[in-house]
Chain A
Amino acid sequence: MSTWLPGVTEGSSADTAGLGAVLGLRPDLYEPFREFYAVFWRDRLVDPVVLELCRLRVAQLLGCATELRVRYEPAVAAGFTEAMAVELSRWPTSDRFNPAHRAALAFAEQFVIDPKGIRGQVRDELRAHFVLPEVVAITEALALFDGFIRFRMILGVGGAPDTTTVDPTALDSPLP
């Protein structure tokens, strides 16, 4: 994928210009976006593994290959493994995932597909495994993932050709 927008940041080719290069065309928006995006990991508003599983599942549902090649360091440090990534689409039955992971992933899928359907068991399971501030953090993070993975897709934002691990809290490093 390569961006079709003219004027990509100097030094980046259209093929490799990542989210930082494209959203960075508007530094007035990119800087507060980075601060907002970072807070979920920097302040550990919820288990980073849960966030990472949700982010990658959203990317799978939307079909965004470039997002699927990104890994976040706080999640890896907290126990996220490549085996989880491999088995993510089989989360309901895979023993890689614990009940809290499954509750968050069911919520994430419903959030992307039809948030009006977040009722009954999906909501109850989430509340059984996460306190209210964590539910809010997961929901806000999903809003960012869903929104900015679509941003990546519609503007043709590229990225690294191979799996790349980055720290979303390192504000001086552009997001791939």
Chain B
Amino acid sequence: MNPVADDDAISGSVLAEQPEALLRFLELYGTLWSHGRLPQSVKEVARLRNARVTDCAYCRSVRFEGAVDDGLTEDRVVRIDDDYASADELTTREKVAIRFTDHFLGDPGAMTDADRAQLLEHFDTGELVELAAGVALFMGFSKIAVALGPPPEMPVTVVPTPDWPPQP
């Protein structure tokens, strides 16, 4: 069993130098995670794919509690790798989300009609907006962690899922 961290690494970071921006970010991020339409496991797969590609040590090590409760166990997480397309442990929807994340991070203007058709087969419009907004935030804030000084390597740690308003 992984430990459940009870501190908030984001609020305790250098981002606290801009408290109003931090507050607004936490509102958006908590809404996306805990009040969205997409299952948390799908968002977590996309977040962890981004963490791997962006190479953010902190983001790679964290697991959100809601996604773990949603069934995203470590034997599934390890399959978010180069060979994800052949992983029986991942659902088709999760694989499509990974492919979307790769396009987003690599060349967001290069999706084909077949890519778009596949996305629309597995997600409705509102879910796609949520997925794209999520990956935008995952990537952006992974890059912040890397750019402002990466935290040391840490063990896999389960943390509470971001929520808004924050849960006591």
Interface residues of A (CB under 8 A from B): 4-7, 22-23, 25-26, 28-29, 32-33, 35-36, 39-40, 43, 45, 62-64, 110-111, 115-116, 118, 132-133, 135-137, 139-140, 142-144, 146-148, 150-151, 153-155
Contacts and interface: CB of A to CB of B under 8 A. Distances in A.
Contact of B133 (A29, A110, A116): A29
15 contacts: A5-B128, A25-B125, A25-B129, A28-B31, A28-B36, A29-B130, A35-B28, A135-B148, A136-B148, A143-B143, A144-B136, A150-B136, A151-B108, A153-B109, A155-B128
A150 B128 contact: no
A47 B123 CA distance: 40
B21 A139 contact: no
Of B120, B126, B139, B140, most A-chain CB atoms within 10 Å: B140
A151 B31 contact: no
Given A5-B129, A6-B125, A155-B132, A28 B108 contact: no
A23 B36 CA distance: 14
Contact of B120 (A6, A33, A140, A148): A6
A39 B24 contact: yes
A45 B133 contact: no
A115 B50 CA distance: 14
Contacts of A4: 116
A115 B147 contact: yes
Given A136-B17, A148-B136, A151-B132, A33 B143 contact: no
Nearest to A147: B136
Given A25-B129, A147-B137, A136 B108 contact: no
A23 B28 CA distance: 13
A40 B25 CA distance: 12
- Leading 6 A-B pairs by shortest Cβ distance: A143-B140, A147-B136, A36-B24, A147-B140, A154-B108, A32-B28
A43 B18 CA distance: 10
Contacts of A118: 146-147
Contacts of A132: 14, 17
Bin the interface of chain B by size.
35 or more
A104 to B, nearest CB: 13
Nearest to A26: B129
Contacts of B18: 45, 133, 136-137, 140
A110 B147 CA distance: 9
Interface in B109-137: 109, 111, 116, 120, 125-126, 128-130, 132-133, 135-137
A6 B117 CA distance: 11
Contacts of B108: 62, 150-151, 153-154
B140 A36 contact: no
A22 B131 CA distance: 13
A143 B126 contact: no
Contact of A150 (B28, B139, B147): B139
Of A39, A132, A142, A143, most B-chain CB atoms within 10 Å: A143
